[in-house]
Amino acid sequence: MTDQTPDASQDALGRRLASQLPRHRAPAHLRAAVLRTAGRSAATGRRAAVLASVATAMVVTLLFVALLPKSAPTDPLELLIRAVVAEHSRTVMWGARTVLNAVEESGIGLARQFDGDDRLTFVNAEPVYIMRRRGVALHYRDQDGHLITYVVLPGQGVPVPDRKRVQVDRFRPALLRDDGFATFMWRQGELVCLLVSDMVSPTDIENFKQYFVRVRTATEPFPAY
């Protein structure tokens, strides 16, 4: 094999796939099920035109409703994300408060925490009160000047939306976007953790994912109340 040219070797592999890869025939029960489907479809086909016109009317109606002005969000998750983003924005605008005993005041303990590294510098920690939940926020700044806010809150009744989950290293946090901010959300035991930044471009998101891994792996919060 090694004396073959790349083209010949590629062709040989193609032939091997065609001739040696086992082919699986559809089982009998599947064949029967598909035949039944074909029969049903034929019977319902004539009704399709009528249904299509009704469906079109429904779509037009739904579009109209969707285009109506939106009111404030009522979804608790969306409200929480907006509140956390607002907390992050406040820090960007006014800076983090200097609270030395933030953890003690927050009701959240940290068995260990990310203290920064060559990419992220730890800025400060402060207690927060978000959506009637007492928690703690840790702020970091990266080499490009982005502020990254890590928030931990009691997690009762806060589901992490499965459809928003993304694979980041060995974790699957939800990645949520709101008004120019990106937020990673995940659970650690009874707590819900959020990492917020204004890093939203594809390149920034990749960096943000790395920051998430650093914070996620090095920080272990626990309820201290």
Partner 1 sequence: MTEADFRHQALAHLDALYNFALYLGRNPAEADDLVQETYLRAFRFETRFQPGTHLRAWLFQILRNTFLTFYRIREREAAVAEDGVPDWDVPMFHDAPEDTGGVMEVHTDLERALHRLPEEFRTVLLLAEVEGLPLEDVARVMSCPVGTVKSRIFRAKERLRTLLKDYEKT
Chain residues that interact with partner 1, rule: CB under 8 A: 9-10, 13-14, 16-18, 20-27, 29-31, 33-35, 37-38, 41-42, 45, 48, 160, 162-163, 165, 167, 170-173, 186-189
In the complex with partner 1, which residue's Cβ is closer, 7 or 144? 7
Report in angstroms how near the CB of residue 8 gets to partner 1 at its nearest: 12
Report in angstroms how near the CB of residue 164 gets to partner 1 at its nearest: 11
Report in angstroms how near the CB of residue 112 gets to partner 1 at its nearest: 17
In the complex with partner 1, which residue's Cβ is closer, 34 or 58? 34
Cα distances from 209 to residues 108, 122, 152, 166, 212, in angstroms, run: 24, 17, 18, 10, 5
Q: Which residues contact 135 (CB under 8 A, 6 or more apart)?
A: 106, 107, 108, 127, 128, 129, 151, 152, 153, 154
In the complex with partner 1, which residue's Cβ is closer, 76 or 189? 189
Q: Which residue is associated with the tokens 């650690």?
A: 188
Cα distances from 86 to residues 70, 82, 94, 101, 138, in angstroms, run: 20, 6, 12, 23, 15
Report in angstroms how near the CB of residue 223 gets to partner 1 at its nearest: 15
In the complex with partner 1, which residue's Cβ is closer, 147 or 175? 175
C-alpha 167/C-alpha 25 separation (Å) is 35
C-beta of residue 195 within 8 angstroms of C-beta of residue 212: yes
In the complex with partner 1, which residue's Cβ is closer, 118 or 162? 162
Report in angstroms how near the CB of residue 191 gets to partner 1 at its nearest: 11
